[in-house]
Amino acid sequence: MKIYLNLAVAPSRRERYALAWAVPTLAVALLIFVYLAGSAIRDFRHSRQIRHSLADFQAKDAHLRAREMELRLQLARPKSREMVDETEFVNHLINQRQFSLTELTVKVSKLLPLNVKLNGLGLEGPDAHPEVRFAVLGKSEEAVESFLNNLEDSEDFSDVTIRNQGFRGGEGGSPEQVALTCTARYVTAILPAGQQER
């Protein structure tokens, strides 16, 4: 008679539980591994792009440094240094500018009535308070007198003096106009360019 012995040990409840979850755990681990591998590949490509960008930046930086040295050498030459000194001198003169003809013209144009036009404008005397020479043409004596009144009432001018007055035109069908030449002292405080009123 033959006796068969079963030497296998019956799996415990814990072992059966572990065996049942082994396949899903392996699948999840495989998915995590694929995700990490993809992330590592993306990071590697990104770092390679950064290395290329850094290399490009370093090449451009080296080129700019070389260009800067070249320009410094050019500026160190006597001819270039002389040009830089002249430019600085001109800029200094511009910054020290004390009179604006544009500003004066704007102020004068506000004094002109509609039927009077400015025919000439000149300056004489010191830069601080120059004497301004006006030449105007008006359609009537009243219009020219209105200009003179505006000039005398202006806070920017003083010592208005009439130099010449007469008539122009009237020949060949052109209308007769009243011509006036006068001077006035420009008394407005003149500031350096950086302090001019805006």
The pLDDT value recorded for residue 28 is: 87
pLDDT band of 129, cuts 50, 70, 90: confident
Residues 65 and 106 in one domain: no
22 has a pLDDT exceeding 90: no
User: Which residues span the domain enclosing 53?
Assistant: 13-97
Rg (CA), the chain: 46
Q: Which of 64, 97, 130 is the last residue of a domain?
A: 97
- Go through 165-175 and write b for each residue having 16 or more CB atoms within 10 A of its CB, e for each that does not: eeeeeeeeeee
Q: Which of 31, 12, 9 is nearest to 20 (CA)?
A: 12
For all residues of the chain together, what is the average pLDDT? Answer: 81
Query: What's the total number of domains in the chain?
Result: 2
Pairing of strands 177-186, 131-138: antiparallel
Is 157 domain-assigned?
A: yes
Residue with tokens 């036009």: 117
Q: DSSP readout, 17-44? A: HHHHHHHHHHHHHHHHHHHHHHHHHHHH
Q: Which of 67, 97, 127 is the last residue of a domain?
A: 97
pLDDT band of 186, cuts 50, 70, 90: confident
Q: Which residue has the higher pLDDT, 49 or 172?
A: 49
Is 4 domain-assigned?
A: no
| 113-to-109, 116, 132, 145, 185 alpha-carbon distances in Å | 9, 5, 19, 10, 20
pLDDT band of 5, cuts 50, 70, 90: low
Is 5 domain-assigned?
A: no
Residues 187 and 105 in one domain: yes
SS (H, E, C) 141-185: HHHHHHHHHHHHHCCCEEEEEEEEEEEECCCCCCCCEEEEEEEEE
Residue with tokens 């120059």: 130
Per-residue pLDDT of 61-119, as tens digits, reads: 999 999 998 888 877 777 767 777 777 766 665 565 556 777 888 888 899 998 999 88
Cα gap 52→55, rounded to integer Å: 5
Residues 22 and 34 in one domain: yes
Residues 187 and 116 in one domain: yes
Residues 76 and 31 in one domain: yes
Residues 33 and 18 in one domain: yes
Is 121 domain-assigned?
A: yes
Residues 28 and 67 in one domain: yes
We report the CATH number of the domain holding residue 158 as 3.30.70.60
Cα gap 132→155, rounded to integer Å: 14
The pLDDT value recorded for residue 194 is: 47
Model confidence, pTM: 0.45
How many Cα atoms occupy the beta-carbon half-sphere of 177 within 13 Å?
A: 15
